[in-house]
Amino acid sequence: MCGPRPPTVRNDSGSTILCTGQSPFLRALYREDGINQETLAKRLLFNKATIARAIDKLEYAGYVSRTRDECDRKANKIYLTSNAWDIKPAMDQISNEWNLILTSGFTEIEKILIKELMKTIVSSVMCEMEQEDITVLSELMK
């Protein structure tokens, strides 16, 4: 593999406490704690089985808890635990560092162009999604 690997969150002793693949799920929950698994699947464009496996891993690691949705007894709402909130600053720092790596070598104008192109891509995806999901994606693009 060439170049840097996507970062993971590690504790003070260097042990991995959160793998890169789990990050999108936690990030979505930081924005909207307490959403149900089906909504999370729609927001992240993953299938329900992938979401279920990811939530299982996060629950086992102590980052989320599930409760039955009182309005829909078949659905689970996913809530972040204090452990998840504790690692948020580290995740934000890693995200910022990774963004610097991804945009190094680009001029400020090119960085603006990349952001605008990404907005166009997201807009294309949003055309295929339901209205409530569009609102969430619009907030992410600010």
Predicted local confidence at residue 85, as pLDDT: 95
Residues 72 and 20 in one domain: yes
Domain for residue 134, yes or no?
Answer: yes
**Structural domain of residue 140, as residue ranges?**
105-142
Predicted local confidence at residue 131, as pLDDT: 52
Predicted local confidence at residue 2, as pLDDT: 41
Predicted local confidence at residue 16, as pLDDT: 47
Residues 116 and 84 in one domain: no
Residues 83 and 49 in one domain: yes
Long-range contacts of 107-110 (CB under 8 A, 24+ apart): none
Number of H helices, E strands in the chain: 6, 4
Residues 24 and 84 in one domain: yes
d(CA 82, CA 66): 14
Q: How many residues does the chain have?
A: 142
Provide the CA 57 distance to its chain's centre, in angstroms: 15
Residues 31 and 80 in one domain: yes
d(CA 42, CA 131): 11
Domain for residue 110, yes or no?
Answer: yes
d(CA 37, CA 41): 6
Residues 39 and 73 in one domain: yes
What does the block give as tokens for 105?
């070598």
Which residue, chain included where needed, has tokens 């992240």?
Answer: 44
Residues 75 and 111 in one domain: no
Residues 21 and 80 in one domain: yes
Look at the chain and report how many structural domains it folds into: 2
Task: Report the CATH number that the domain containing residue 67 is assigned in CATH.
Answer: 1.10.10.10
User: Which residue positions in the chain have pLDDT lower than 50?
Assistant: 1-7, 10-11, 13-16
Domain for residue 57, yes or no?
Answer: yes
**pTM passes above 0.75:** no
Residues 30 and 64 in one domain: yes
Domain for residue 63, yes or no?
Answer: yes
